Structure 1
Amino acid sequence: MSKTKEATAVAERGLPQQTGVAGPVSPPRVSARRRRPGVIALSLGLIAAGGAGVAVLLLQVGHRTDVVTVVRDVQVGQVLTEQDLGKASISLDPAVKAVTADHLDQVVGKRAAVELRPGSLLAPSQVTADSLVKAGEQLVPIGLKPEQIPATALVPGQKVELVHVPAQGETETDKPSDGGPKTLAGRVVKASAAAPGTGVVVVDVATSATDGPTAAAWVSSGTLRLVLAAPDGH
């Protein structure tokens, strides 16, 4: 059957006539987004700033300082030796005051102004070139019971008054003219930790050489009391 006759037969039967093979379908056009130079510049700036911040942080973390450390117990007033001290390299906060390792020779030979513990950093305020017991002074150890210990911590250099409190029935023959108890001026050199069981604290007090024997006698008789002096010493 010829193509003409076949088309005529299809038309007579009411079937749709194929007009040909469909061609390829073109994809929809997608318009490219317009780039904004300002946004690109801002992005590059943020990336650069972030990189700089990370670099500064890494430099800060990596920066270490050589400092002087304490390697064994040092008592108040003890002269520091090279065997008492060591060195360590740490990331040091600017708020922390520590003796740097290049100043080690400047602290050797000085005295400990406070009690030093192993593993701690050495601060400039913890050493002194002065003797804690000066010329013309004597050191008097005073034992204080728990109820006699001030709530304020006793620290080296703190000024105190040694007060004579006569025993019951005893009269004080050398009372001051104002009628008050006799007192002697002193200065704390060291205060021990409370003794286990008794809680007694021993305080080393520096007083004048003329007052030292009197203070020792008061301690021996149990008639001495320690009172904190005013900050200005009066």
Structure 2
Amino acid sequence: MAGPVAPPRVSARRRRPGVIALSLALIAAGGVGVAVLLLQVGNRTDVVTVVRDVQVGEIVTEGDLGKASVALDPAVKAVRAGDLDSVVGRRAAVELKPGSLLAPSQVTKDSLVKAGEQLVPIGLEPKQIPATALVPGQKVQLVHVPAQGAADTGEKSDAAPQTIDGRVVKASSAAPGTGIVVVDVATSAEEGPRAAAWVAAGTLRLVLAAPDGS
């Protein structure tokens, strides 16, 4: 008769020091990551947001604005929620779009068309639009050019073209199909009617002025 069978020997696995150290490092790194995430979530700022479309020059109302709590990068300039009353009643210096944060530079207390100025709308075809985006406040020149068919007279003129100084108040988006952009330009009240006549005759071109306005 066979004797009792001895149970198999089970040897305890020895944990290598390197594996233990790596495990501890991963746990520590995970803890640091969670701590950083908690700090980012907790360090939030209440800011003013845009909830409705506001066109350039329109007065901003309280209904156009909202509030949100966000983790704000220090480099981002946004109106704090506590300063909401200070921007209500001001005019939009740029087009305000829903879902965006409101920056202090996007509103102004000044009218975009000043006393003694007139607003001249100018339609530009795609080939006439500068590659540089037109933005409110940008200085431009309105240049009078000969009408089609009037330039081929066989005579050359050394006279400088007539120009009118202006300032962009608003530039629309390109119209579907035609691509035409309408630019509202503020000119002096004396020059406004002449600029409008150039627009009607199709003899006006818009060029960007130097950054310093010279």
Relative to the length of structure 1, the TM-score reads: 0.73
> Would you identify which runs of 4 or more consecutive aligned residues in structure 1 move more than 6 Å?
49-53
Matches within 5 A, 1:69-80: 69-80=49-60
CA-based RMSD of the aligned residues comes to 2.1
Aligned to 1:163: 143
Question: C-alpha distance in 2, partners of 1:86/1:182?
Answer: 47
Aligned to 1:88: 68
Once the two structures are superposed, residues 162-214 of structure 1 have per-residue CA deviations (whole angstroms, 9 ceiling, x without a partner) of 0000214548xxxxxx7110000000000001111111100000000000000
The amino acid of 2:203's aligned partner reads T
Q: Describe the shift of the 1:56–1:197 C-alpha distance in structure 2 as closer, same or farther (beyond 3 A).
A: closer
Specify the SS of the correspondent of 1:186: strand
Which of these residues, 104, 127, 130, is aligned with residue 107 of structure 2?
127
The amino acid of 1:153's aligned partner reads A
Cα shift at 1:64: 1.3
Matches within 5 A, 1:120-199: 120-170=100-150, 179-199=159-179
Question: C-alpha distance in 2, partners of 1:196/1:56?
Answer: 48
Higher deviation after alignment, 87-96 or 52-61: 52-61
Once the two structures are superposed, residues 67-109 of structure 1 have per-residue CA deviations (whole angstroms, 9 ceiling, x without a partner) of 1000100000111000110111111111111101000000001
The amino acid of 2:96's aligned partner reads L
Question: C-alpha distance in 2, partners of 1:150/1:52?
Answer: 51
The amino acid of 1:139's aligned partner reads L
Matches within 5 A, 1:27-66: 55=35, 57-66=37-46
Specify the SS of the correspondent of 2:97: coil
Specify the SS of the correspondent of 1:140: strand
Q: Describe the shift of the 1:218–1:52 C-alpha distance in structure 2 as closer, same or farther (beyond 3 A).
A: same
Relative to the length of structure 2, the TM-score reads: 0.80
Question: C-alpha distance in 1, partners of 2:177/2:98?
Answer: 26
Aligned to 1:40: none
The amino acid of 1:233's aligned partner reads G
The amino acid of 2:183's aligned partner reads V
Aligned to 1:116: 96
Q: How many residues align?
A: 183
Question: C-alpha distance in 1, partners of 2:46/2:122?
Answer: 41
Aligned to 2:5: none
Question: C-alpha distance in 1, partners of 2:199/2:209?
Answer: 19
The amino acid of 1:128's aligned partner reads T
The amino acid of 2:62's aligned partner reads E
Specify the SS of the correspondent of 2:105: helix
The amino acid of 1:186's aligned partner reads G
The amino acid of 1:83's aligned partner reads G
The amino acid of 2:193's aligned partner reads P
